Amino acid sequence: MQPIKQLAKILAGLADDEHYLFSLADLKGAMPEQSQGGFKALVCRGVKDGLLKRICRGLYLYPSVDYAGGLVLFHAAARLRADAFNYISLETALSDAGVISQIPINWITLMSSGRSHIVNCGEFGRIEFVHTKKRPENLTDHLIYDSRCRLWRASVALAIKDMRATKRSTDLIDWNAANELV
């Protein structure tokens, strides 16, 4: 069987609406007999043929399943920084809570124990990781797990503290709404 057809068959068997993002390591594990050059060509062909969609460097989406379109950035962030402590905060958390009237389109902000970095995810938008030295055990009262996003989410009070700590503008915050939720 041709490698591209073999990859298509493997992905069709593995992917579902919960598992539609694949790292290069995932794909390489599915095709271990491929040489490094052959594997690289296979992934490129998979993207060109529409079998895969490139999210960002090293992360691909299998578009043939019914995936949660509005949650791709959150799911990608969880996959990209699975080895770090991350939580949804800053403008994203405040917008979701209704404390900021403007909704960031195709841009999510997370606090991360990893380095600060903005990841361009092409047509899907951008993920902004902002470094924090805060420890999870010190934030247990201010975090809830958001199973839809597959990430921890900051309370309004923590998101406002994070805004101040990172010296981000608080001009858009509706302080009446924020005070009701804190």
State the Cα–Cα distance between residues 156 and 169, nearest whole angstrom. Answer: 15
Structure tokens at 55: 């999210």
Q: What pLDDT, on a 0 to 100 scale, did the predictor assign at position 40?
A: 94
Q: What pLDDT, on a 0 to 100 scale, did the predictor assign at position 104?
A: 77
> Rounded to the nearest 10 degrees, how much is the dihedral formed by the CA atoms of 124, 11, 25, 117?
10
157-173 tens-digit pLDDT = 999 999 999 999 988 88
Residue 178 — pLDDT band, cuts 50, 70, 90?
confident
Q: What pLDDT, on a 0 to 100 scale, did the predictor assign at position 111?
A: 98
Q: What pLDDT, on a 0 to 100 scale, did the predictor assign at position 173?
A: 87
Q: What pLDDT, on a 0 to 100 scale, did the predictor assign at position 152?
A: 98
State the Cα–Cα distance between residues 171 and 100, nearest whole angstrom. Answer: 9
Question: If you search the block for the tokens 């981000």, which residue do you land on?
Answer: 168
Q: What pLDDT, on a 0 to 100 scale, did the predictor assign at position 144?
A: 97
Q: CA 32 → CA 6, 9, 42, 53, distances in Å?
A: 12, 15, 12, 21
1-33 tens-digit pLDDT = 799 999 999 999 999 989 999 999 999 999 999
Helices first, then strands: H and E counts in the chain: 7, 9
116-148 tens-digit pLDDT = 999 999 999 999 999 999 999 999 999 999 999
pTM score, two decimals?
0.92
Q: What pLDDT, on a 0 to 100 scale, did the predictor assign at position 172?
A: 87
Check the CA dihedral 71-54-111-15 and report its sign. positive
Domains of the chain are 3-67 (1.10.10.10), 70-181 (no CATH)
75-114 tens-digit pLDDT = 999 999 999 999 999 999 999 999 997 777 899 999 999 9
